[in-house]
Amino acid sequence: MSDEGTPGTRQVSLDALRALAHPLRVQLFSALTSFGPATASALAARLGESSGSTSYHLRQLEKHGFVREDTSRGNGRDRWWERTPGQIEVLGPDLVDSEAARAAGELVESEFQRLEEERFGAFWRARHTLPAAWRDNADIFSINLALSAEELARFGEDFEALVNRYRGLGADDPERRRVDIHLRAFPVIDPTTTTQQPISPDDPEGAQR
């Protein structure tokens, strides 16, 4: 799961996962991740909800450590919220065998994926209005590689090391803007056989698009 701020992965407990497994709570968590700190009223306007509803669900997220108050903002009347820094792992090794956790995790991940596609759609529709530097340097890239399980693990480690090079480069710099980066690395399964897709001898290095 994407992260915000300092490195470190938190494995979500079953109680916390159940608390997150609500479409509006995932939307609130995602909005604070993608767009930065906001008040309950601002989030309500963004998501088409009432401020009473967003306030309630933010407090539930706070109880389980997903969000926290941004004490550097606000004027005493408006309470600002931010995502708690750090990466989260929705289905850690302690939960993968739990049917309840898998059901909650499916809801959470499905909503995250829907919101990712929604943000990409917004970028794609607006790309021609962006300054050339931002439009031309946005990258849409995927590749299909032949890897062993160990190589896949090393790929993830290399990717994390690359991400860490760019952490904390000054989020308040006006020349910087939030950038969505998505990596989906998983073994290809053939749905007709429910087995891992074999490597084609005609494409040993992988297909790219």
111-155: per-residue pLDDT in tens? 999 999 999 999 999 999 999 999 999 988 888 899 999 999 999
Q: Which of the 8 DSSP states describes residue 130?
A: S
Assess whether 39 and 19 both reside in one domain. yes
Quick one: pLDDT at residue 142? 84
175 vs 157: CA distance, rounded Å: 29
Burial of 191 (0-12, 13-18, 19+ CB in 10 A): exposed
Instruction: Assign residue 124 the CATH number of its domain.
Output: 1.10.10.10
**What are the residue ranges in the chain where pLDDT is below 50?**
2, 4-7, 200-209
Domain C-terminal end among 72, 95, 130: 130
21 vs 16: CA distance, rounded Å: 9
Assess whether 88 and 150 both reside in one domain. no
Quick one: pLDDT at residue 8? 67
Taking residue 135's Cβ as centre, other Cβ atoms within 10 Å add up to 13
Assess whether 118 and 174 both reside in one domain. no
Quick one: pLDDT at residue 5? 45
Does pTM surpass 0.85? no
Quick one: pLDDT at residue 207? 44
43 vs 51: CA distance, rounded Å: 8
Quick one: pLDDT at residue 174? 81
Quick one: pLDDT at residue 93? 86
Quick one: pLDDT at residue 168? 74
Assess whether 36 and 112 both reside in one domain. yes
- Locate tokens 């302690």: which residue? 94
**Domain residue limits at 20:** 1-130
Quick one: pLDDT at residue 202? 47
